[in-house]
Amino acid sequence: MKNLEDLRVELNKIDGKSYKLYKTLEGQYNFKNYILSIDHVQGDPFASPSRVRVIVKQNIAKIPLELFKTKEKNIALCDYLTREFYYNINKCGEKILGSGKSGLISISRCPQEILERTSVIVDEEKIEARFYIGFPARGRSILGRELEKILYNVLPSIVEKALLYKNINHKRLLETVNLVEDQEYIRNELDSRGLVAFIANGSILPRESGVSSRPLKNGKEFISPRELEVEFKTKNNGIIKGMGIKKGITLIVGGGYHGKSTLLRALELGIYNHIKGDGREFVITNRSALKVRAEDGRAITNTDISLFINNLPNGKDTIKFNTENASGSTSEAANIVEGIESKAEVILIDEDTSATNFMMRDDLMQKLVSKEKEPITPFIEIMKPLYTQKQISTILVVGSCGDFFDVADTVIQMDNYLVKDVTKIAKDLSSGAIIKRINDKNLKLSFDFKRRVKKGTIEYGPKGVKVKTIGLDTIVLNREEINLRAVEQIVDNEQLNAISTIMKWAEINLMDKNLTFEKMVDEVLLEIDRKGLVSLEKIKGGSGSLALPRKQEIMSAYNRYRKLKMQN
C-alpha cells in the first residue's frame, strides 16, 4: 500500500493541472494511525463531493467491545461517532481556498433520532468513517496545496478527536449506549405488558419550533395520571415510571391548543430511539406504529378499500381501487388498508389531518342520508372490530366529537398540557348509538393481501435508473416524483436514499420471485440484515450515505409511486 508521502508527491505533481487529474489519486494510503481511502473522486469542482473513507484499526482506536456487542449498541455507538465526527469537522476546519464546494468536508447530519446508518461502521477489527470532501479547485484547475491542508492537517485531527477512544468522552459515550439499550428494552417489553406505547414522567414533548426538533425550553413536563401509571425496571437507568397506553382504542381529547397533537407527534416518533437531552428519551412506541392521515391527490394502485368504501356513484371498483387523484376519504382509507398490509399493529390518527366524513357520521346525518346513498363506512364503526378481531390498536386525537366515547377503551384528556384519565366520565356520557350500529352490521374482518409488485415497475434505461432525493419528502426515480409529504415518520433524507436504492435493487432481484408485496419488502430487509446496510451503497452509486427505513415507509413509497404496477 502507498503511504502518506507517496500521496504528497502525487499531489505536488498534479498541482495546478486539470481537475480531471485528481482521479489519479483514487486508492488507499497508509497514514500511520489509519488508512485513507479515496474511493471516488468527483468529475468537476461543482459535482457532488468526492467519496472518502478513513479506516482505523481497533488496535489503535481501542473501542471496548462491550460498547458494540449487540446490534442496538453498535447502532448507538456508530451514531455517536458520526455526531462526534460532524462536530469536529467544524471545530478542526481551516480556511480552504477555492471555488464551488472546495474544501467542504461533510458527513451525515444526524437528527434527534438514532438510526442505523452507513456513515460510521464499527466491528472487532476496525472503525470506518465514510464521508465526503469537495476537492479544491480554482476554476477548473487543481489546488493541490489546499487538499494537502485538508488531508495532512484537518483530517488527522478530526480522526484523532472523533474516532480514537482515548480522546472520546467515555462517560457520555457509555451513557448513550446504555440509554439505547434501555429504550430498546422498554420497546421490546411493551407487547407482553399489554401496551402499545409508554411516556415517561418528566418527558418534554413539545419542540422548539416547526423547523427545529430540539426540545422546547420551559416546556411543561409530562406527568402520568395515577390510573395509567406503569413502571419499567431498566438495566442502566433504574426504575422508570410513566403513562402506559394500552392496546385497544385510546382517545386523546381536550380543548384546542392543549397539547393533543404534540402528544401524538411524540408517539409517532417513539418508534425511534432519541438522543440524551431530547426530552423524548423514554417516549417509546410499538415498532410498527403508523401515522395515517388524509392525503388527497395521491395515486392509489389496486388497493382494496372496500372495507370503508363501497357503491361509488360512478360504479368504480373499490376492491381493486385505482385513482390518479384520491379524495380525502379514499386516500385515508387506502392509507389505513395499506398500513394493515404493511403489518402495522397500531394506527395513529389526528383529527387535524383527517377527512371528517371518513372518520364519522352522526346519527342525524345517518337518518337524513340513507345507507344506500352513502358509500363510506366511517372509521368510527371499524376501529372496534379492527381491534377485537385483528388486534390492531388505534390512538386517536379527537377534540370535536363525543361519539367516539362509545368505542374507546381509554380516554385521556389534555388539559393545559397535563394528562387526565377521563375514561370513566366519557364512558358514562356515551350514548351507545355507535356500538348499536356496529353490532347491527356484525362485520367480519378478513384481510388477504395478494398484491404483488410487477416487474417493470421501475424502468431500467441504458444507464440504469436515475435516482435523486430531496429533503424528507421527495424521491425522484427517472424523473418521476414520489411525494412522501404525508409519510410523516421519515426523519432523515438518508432514509429516502435507502428507499430509492431498495426500489432499484428489488426491481432486478426480487420481482420475478412471485412474492406478495409485503413479503417482497421483508426479503429486502432480510438481505440488508445479512449483508449490512452498507452493501446497498454500492448499488446506489454516486454519493449519499444511507439510513435504515422501516418496512412501513418502504411500502409507503411504493404505494405513492405513480408508475406502480401491481398484480392481484
Instruction: Tell the smallest beta-carbon distance from residue 257 to Mg ion (Å).
Output: 8
- If the CB atoms of residues 123 and 352 are measured against Mg ion, the closer one turns out to be 352
Select from Mg ion, ligand ADP, none the partner in contact with residue 401, using the beta carbon and a kind-dependent cut-off of 5 to 8 Å. Answer: none
Pairing mode, if any, of strands 273-274 and 113-114? antiparallel
Binding mask 260-289 for ligand ADP (x = CB under 6 A): xxx---------------------------
Binding mask 365-404 for ligand ADP (x = CB under 6 A): ----------------------------------------
What, of ligand ADP, Mg ion, none, does residue 256 touch, CB below 5 to 8 Å by kind? ligand ADP
Longest dimension (CA), the chain: 87
Shortest distance, position 261 Cβ to Mg ion, whole Å:
3
Candidates 194, 28, 23; CA nearest to 126 is 28
First to last CA, the chain: 55
CB of 184 to ligand ADP, least distance (A): 26
Which residue from 57, 71, 220, 513 is in contact with ligand ADP, where contact means CB under 6 A? 220
46 binds, among ligand ADP, Mg ion, none (CB under 5 to 8 A by kind): none
- Out of 219, 225, 375, 542, point to the residue binding ligand ADP (CB under 6 A): 219
Cβ contact 151:51 at 8 Å: no
**Bridging pattern class, strands 249-254 and 239-246:** unpaired
User: Does 257 contact ligand ADP by CB under 6 A?
Assistant: yes
Residue keyed to cell 394502485: 301
Quote the CA–CA distance of 286 and 250 in Å, as a whole number: 14
Q: Which residues make Cβ contacts (< 8 Å) with residue 562, sequence separation at least 6?
A: 299, 324, 480, 482
User: Exactly one of 131, 417, 505, 558 binds ligand ADP (CB under 6 A); which one?
Assistant: 417
Q: Which is nearer to Mg ion, 66 or 352 (CB)?
A: 352
User: Bridge-partner residues for 453, per DSSP?
Assistant: 566
Cell of 293: 392521515
- The entry of ligand ADP, Mg ion, none near residue 98 (CB within 5 to 8 angstroms by kind) is none
Residue 406: which residues within 8 A CB-CB, separation 6 or more?
Answer: 430, 431, 432, 433, 434, 435
Which of these segments, 90-98, 253-261, 386-394, 528-536, binds ligand ADP (CB under 6 A)? Answer: 253-261
Identify the CA nearest to 330 among candidates 368, 303, 369: 303
As given in the structure block, the three cell numbers for residue 561 are 409511486
Identity of the residue, 317 or 352, whose beta carbon is nearer to Mg ion in the bound complex: 352
Interface pick for Mg ion out of 317, 352, 480, 529 (rule CB under 5 A): 352
Structure letter (DSSP) for residue 278: S
Interaction partner, residue 467 (Mg ion, ligand ADP, none; CB < 5-8 Å by kind): none
**Of the two residues 144 and 254, which places its CB atom closer to ligand ADP in the complex?**
254
Coil, strand or helix at 198: strand
**Smallest separation (angstroms) from ligand ADP to the CB of 262:** 3
Q: How far is the CB of 225 from ligand ADP (least distance, A)?
A: 15
Q: Which three cell numbers stand for residue 281?
A: 428519551
Min CB(425)–Mg ion separation in Å: 21
Q: Which of residues 199-218 bind ligand ADP (CB under 6 A)?
A: 205-206, 216
- Distance, in Å, from the CA atom of 286 to the CA atom of 188, rounded to the nearest integer, reads 8
Judged by CB under 6 A, which stretch of 152-160, 243-251, 259-267, 543-551 contacts ligand ADP?
A: 259-267
Q: Which of 261, 273, 285, 303 binds Mg ion (CB under 5 A)?
A: 261
- Quick one: cell of 289? 406504529
Report the C-alpha gap between 338 and 516 in whole angstroms. Answer: 13
Residue from 297, 308, 300 nearest 357 by CA: 308
State which residue, 62 or 220, has the beta carbon closest to ligand ADP. Answer: 220
| Cα distance between residue 375 and residue 357, in whole Å | 10
- 417 touches, from Mg ion, ligand ADP, none (C-beta below 5 to 8 Å by class): ligand ADP
Give the single-character DSSP code of 457.
Answer: S
- To ligand ADP, the closest distance from the beta carbon of 347 in angstroms equals 18
Only segment of 347-355, 418-426, 529-537, 548-556 that touches Mg ion (CB under 5 A): 347-355
Q: Nearest approach, Cβ of 329 to Mg ion (angstroms)?
A: 20
The rounded distance, in Å, linking the Cα atoms of 288 and 89 is 36
476 bridge partner residues: 468, 481
The amino acid that residue 125 corresponds to is E
Q: Which of 375, 383, 425, 377 is nearest to 404 (CA)?
A: 383
Is residue 531 within 8 Å of 539, Cβ to Cβ?
A: no
Handedness of CA 236, 239, 244, 246 (dihedral sign): positive
Q: How far is the CB of 209 from ligand ADP (least distance, A)?
A: 8
Complex with ligand ADP: residue 218 or 442, whichever CB lies closer: 218
CB closer to ligand ADP, 267 vs 564: 267
- CA distances 89 to 24, 108, 153, Å, are 25, 11, 12
Q: How far is the CB of 263 from ligand ADP (least distance, A)?
A: 7
Q: Which is nearer to ligand ADP, 100 or 206 (CB)?
A: 206
Q: One symbol per residue from 288 to 317: x for binding Mg ion (CB under 5 A), - otherwise; what is it? A: ------------------------------
Smallest distance from ligand ADP to CB 112, Å: 15
With CB under 6 A, what is the number of residues at the site for ligand ADP? 15
Rounded Cα distance between 404 and 207, Å, is 29
CA dist 116 and 546 (Å) reads 9
Tell me how far, at minimum, the Cβ of 97 lies from Mg ion, in Å: 50
Q: Which does 541 bind (CB under 5 to 8 A by kind): ligand ADP, Mg ion, none?
A: none
Residue 202: burial class (beta carbons within 10 Å; 0-12, 13-18, 19+): middle
Q: Which does 449 bind (CB under 5 to 8 A by kind): ligand ADP, Mg ion, none?
A: none
Q: Which stretches of the chain bind ligand ADP, using CB under 6 A?
A: 205-206, 216, 219-220, 254, 256-262, 414, 417
Q: Which stretches of the chain bind Mg ion, using CB under 5 A?
A: 261, 352
